[in-house]
Structure 1
Amino acid sequence: MERENIRSVQEALIVGGGIGGMAAAIALSERGVKVDLIDLDPQWRVYGAGITITGPTLRAYRRLGLLEQIKAQGAITTKTRLFKYDGTHLHDLEEPVIEEGLPATGGIMRPVLHRIMQGRVKELGIPVRLGLTVSSLVNVDSGVDVTFSDGSTGHYDLVVGSDSVFSGVRELSFPHMGPAQPTGQGCWRISIRKPPGLEYGEFYLGHANPCGITACAPDQVYMWMLTPHVERESFMDEEELFNELKRLLADFGGNAGWIRDNMTRDDWINYRPLAAVLQPKPWYDGRIVLLGDAVHATTPHLASGAGMAVESGIVLAEELARADSVEAGLLAYQERRYPRCQDVIDSSVSVGRLQLAHGDPREHAKILEGALSRLNEDF
């Protein structure tokens, strides 16, 4: 695909090498920008189980040229099935193909997805410096003066903060913003072999603790469960995580019940409290801009956090290519992304509140279908 080069940015620094940061690095580099990418983790690792990749997210990855690798190394399906928690089938979520040749939905292991994106970053020759972040950012007439955490310095036409929900760039340059706010829920995840009867994605509703299953490879799935968050004095160890998740699944039938009965202590289990925030405008200060969880952190209810980050990286590059100046491009990026990210976050938080209130699963399904339908519209 022919891409118009960005004339107003010659050199850019991406702070944070996660999904959003890599998407921005790829999209900017493909439009002629010399990109430097830094990440605080010396090994540039990612932790986690699987990730659901909806049709809109697959569309964004196709625009990065990574769809075929995701299809080859993940799992693709055509729909998501809704069940009552005891295994009674309720409804199938229609997930139409939103572009010709684009799968409806799917899943992939998060480390596999990161390796695919890291491979593209390396193919493009983007320098990656690890174990590093920024300690000072100063806007000047010609760009941004940067001091790195190792004491070295640099100067860039653009600095992109994509350094997680705990963004250091946000702390340095955006005093009008604050931390993500707890939603009152926590998310359990387990990575396990695929139940023999599973063909599609599955949601289990109508229980105080809803859960879902996503295929991530031909023989592997991950299951998530949402529970009211309870503060603990210490982190749960592996034995406590195993026993608690097994207990929480006691009422479940279907493939969720199969996972309960077949999970072992060798399966990867994780728990984390949920938080979300749509940061107030402006999302940029001079030539410093935020994207991904640093500015639009959501919960997993719509499986769209990664998708929103990838879209934001692409839109940032597209708007900079269209604009006559960096500032005009950053404003256009912000205005294009804000309402879409707001819809995702508001819908996700609304579903979470409904779950905490033990609301009607049909209302849950209605919110999900409405939000997913709006996400099918092009970004």
Structure 2
Amino acid sequence: MLNTNSPSILRDILQIVSDIKNDLFIFKKDPSIKEIGVADVKAEVLLLKKANEVTIKINVVYKLSDGLFKTLSFLSISHFADNLSDLHVSEASTHDISQALAHWFSFCSEELSGRVTEDQWAVLNAPHRRYVFLAMQTWTLQHSNVPTVSINQEPGCERPLEVEMMLERGNPAEGASIGVSGQAANAAEELGLYEKLFQAGRHIDRSYSALDLRDTDGDIISKARSDPYGPNSKETVCIYRPTWIRIMTETASELGVQIRPLTTYTAIDNRSDGVTVTTTHGEVLEADIVIGADGLHSAVRELLFPDHPPLTYSGQLSIRWMAPGAQVDPESWYTSSQGRLSFYWLPENLVYIASVLHAPEAKHLSADEVRLRFTKLLDSFSAPALKELRSRFDQHVELIARNYYWILLPDPWFRHRGILIGDAAHATTSHMGQGGGMALEDSVVLAQCIRDSSSLEEAFGGFMKRRFERVSTVVNASVQLSRLEQQEDWSPQERMVYRGKAMAAISAPY
């Protein structure tokens, strides 16, 4: 029986499949399988609903030597519920799923015989073992509780606007942190998120000095402005990404949003009189507007603007690490010949470390290569705070590496009834710390423009007038800061001045 007093089944599944990539990253005998790190193994969790039966499938995917991916096997468990919001599992159900996973790994052990040691399988089959969720996942959010609007319709034919929001396919629970600061905090408040983020995250007052720049010994090279976002700004909130996703999902549900997992599309027919979306399940949806908020590698961008300018590689690489343990002081930016890094503590008792390193060529680095680059960076510092973090670093930690790309689409970001927001339209590097904030602002401004306009053309045009110059300031400043850092004789003071001017420019209301 499903127990509605238990945590949601999604949360249970995330718990049950946590750490699978750390357990299945060595396959020794199959010549088609290369030596791979944990980043090359994925587990995919699917929730498929038919009538009142919901099937949970867990696929393990691994990378072959030619770069292709192959699914090893899958587990299927069914539950019955009237709708997805009723899906909760009792402790007994959680135990059943754990047992089924152990059963599944036992079955897989025949195929993997000789590739994983008996000791490793003992760990895999240990009771109450947590397995990590690494799904490539798309959520479709359907919002019925929105203001009535009239867009390109005859008078008297007003109807509620049905909004389909599709989040980018990716791992929403991937360990990292998000900062909400300046005007983005105001946007979060308008969306009903700020107070929840404030309660769950690390809030930082205006006197916080984490933007100061220090040398390898920890001495201050350049001091940041004490109030970079203006006197009327809210306190900055830094929050663990899985917590951020949970709060967003819960808030959407409270507003009446129905969450339908793993619904993406095969085609979008974007016309002047409407949009038809064909999903991967064969369903045909009619919509007033399609909003592409699907990130740097936006598929909606490809459909709306097939001739768009390509992504531009910045020449820099980001490596991030969530280090367990207590707060380390002083929290700040530190720079050496190997690169830059900063860190701050989160309430989950994790220290978030973000680094920026030079990488002239954009290429995929293996897990070992990423670890080597990051180790060299840590070893280049003698500051006590960095030495403390170095003591927590070992061969088992997980690092997240990303090449920095950017793109700024020319005005307009819309065509007919399709529009792009966030990274899909203006992805940037992290040098201004405003990429996610700009996406929050986009969503608020677009909603306001739709609410206050009598036509779609007016709404989209008004959105571009309010957003293009502001977003361009952030993207261009981030790119210039990235280029400045790559010069041999770059000046930290010059960097601070340039960044300060850009921050002042975007401290005005959106």
TM-score (norm 1): 0.85
> Is the contact between residue 106 and residue 215 of structure 1 (CA under 8 Å) also seen in structure 2?
no
| CA–CA distance in structure 2, aligned partners of residues 44 and 191 of structure 1 | 16
Q: Where in structure 2 are the equivalents of 1:1-379 lying within 5 Å?
A: 30-32=146-148, 33-39=161-167, 41=169, 45-78=172-205, 79=208, 80=210, 81-90=212-221, 91-95=223-227, 98=230, 102-103=234-235, 105-193=236-324, 196-198=327-329, 201-205=331-335, 207-217=337-347, 219-229=349-359, 231=361, 235-237=365-367, 239-252=368-381, 253-358=383-488, 359-379=490-510
> Is the contact between residue 432 and residue 499 of structure 2 (CA under 8 Å) also seen in structure 1?
yes
Q: Could you give the per-residue CA deviations for residues 55-86 of structure 1, whole angstroms, max 9, x where no partner exists? A: 32222211111111111111011223332233
Gaps (5+ residues) in structure 2?
1-136, 149-160
Alpha-carbon spacing, 1:213–1:167, altered in 2? closer, same or farther (3 Å): same
| CA–CA distance in structure 2, aligned partners of residues 140 and 110 of structure 1 | 36
Q: Could you give the per-residue CA deviations for residues 19-65 of structure 1, whole angstroms, max 9, x where no partner exists? A: xx98xx88x95545432333464x97342311222232222211111
- Deviation of the 1:97 alpha carbon: 6.6
- Deviation of the 1:169 alpha carbon: 1.0
> Is the contact between residue 208 and residue 356 of structure 1 (CA under 8 Å) also seen in structure 2?
no
Stretch deviating more after TM superposition (175-184 or 212-221) = 212-221
Alpha-carbon spacing, 1:85–1:38, altered in 2? closer, same or farther (3 Å): same
SS at match of 2:225: strand
SS at match of 2:351: strand
User: What is the letter of the counterpart of residue 293 of structure 2?
Assistant: S
User: What is the letter of the counterpart of residue 399 of structure 2?
Assistant: I
| CA–CA distance in structure 2, aligned partners of residues 187 and 296 of structure 1 | 18
Stretch deviating more after TM superposition (43-52 or 147-156) = 43-52
> Is the contact between residue 137 and residue 147 of structure 1 (CA under 8 Å) also seen in structure 2?
yes
- Deviation of the 1:145 alpha carbon: 1.7
| CA–CA distance in structure 2, aligned partners of residues 197 and 45 of structure 1 | 27
| CA–CA distance in structure 1, aligned partners of residues 480 and 460 of structure 2 | 29
User: What is the letter of the counterpart of residue 186 of structure 2?
Assistant: R
Runs of 4+ in 1 over 6 A off after TM superposition: none
- Deviation of the 1:215 alpha carbon: 3.0
| CA–CA distance in structure 1, aligned partners of residues 376 and 271 of structure 2 | 57
- Deviation of the 1:257 alpha carbon: 3.5
- Deviation of the 1:312 alpha carbon: 0.3
> Relative contact order: is structure 1 or structure 2 higher (C-alpha 8 Å, sep ≥ 6)?
1
- Deviation of the 1:372 alpha carbon: 1.7
Alpha-carbon spacing, 1:226–1:297, altered in 2? closer, same or farther (3 Å): same
Alpha-carbon spacing, 1:84–1:30, altered in 2? closer, same or farther (3 Å): farther
> Is the contact between residue 333 and residue 341 of structure 2 (CA under 8 Å) also seen in structure 1?
yes
Choose 1 or 2 for highest CA Rg: 2
Alpha-carbon spacing, 1:98–1:266, altered in 2? closer, same or farther (3 Å): farther
TM-score (norm 2): 0.64
> Is the contact between residue 362 and residue 403 of structure 2 (CA under 8 Å) also seen in structure 1?
no
| CA–CA distance in structure 1, aligned partners of residues 320 and 289 of structure 2 | 37
Alpha-carbon spacing, 1:180–1:236, altered in 2? closer, same or farther (3 Å): same
Q: Report % sequence identity.
A: 26
- Deviation of the 1:208 alpha carbon: 4.9
| CA–CA distance in structure 2, aligned partners of residues 115 and 51 of structure 1 | 13
- Deviation of the 1:183 alpha carbon: 0.5
> Is the contact between residue 290 and residue 419 of structure 2 (CA under 8 Å) also seen in structure 1?
yes
SS at match of 1:278: coil
User: What is the letter of the counterpart of residue 47 of structure 1?
Assistant: E
Alpha-carbon spacing, 1:291–1:49, altered in 2? closer, same or farther (3 Å): same
| CA–CA distance in structure 1, aligned partners of residues 321 and 286 of structure 2 | 43
| CA–CA distance in structure 2, aligned partners of residues 373 and 215 of structure 1 | 26
- Deviation of the 1:120 alpha carbon: 1.0
> Is the contact between residue 29 and residue 35 of structure 1 (CA under 8 Å) also seen in structure 2?
no
| CA–CA distance in structure 2, aligned partners of residues 138 and 374 of structure 1 | 39
Alpha-carbon spacing, 1:134–1:99, altered in 2? closer, same or farther (3 Å): farther
User: What is the letter of the counterpart of residue 236 of structure 1?
Assistant: S
| CA–CA distance in structure 2, aligned partners of residues 346 and 59 of structure 1 | 23
RMSD between aligned alpha carbons?
2.7
| CA–CA distance in structure 2, aligned partners of residues 250 and 366 of structure 1 | 29
> Is the contact between residue 147 and residue 153 of structure 1 (CA under 8 Å) also seen in structure 2?
yes
Alpha-carbon spacing, 1:122–1:269, altered in 2? closer, same or farther (3 Å): same
Stretch deviating more after TM superposition (206-215 or 72-81) = 206-215
SS at match of 2:307: coil
Alpha-carbon spacing, 1:29–1:174, altered in 2? closer, same or farther (3 Å): farther
Alpha-carbon spacing, 1:306–1:82, altered in 2? closer, same or farther (3 Å): same
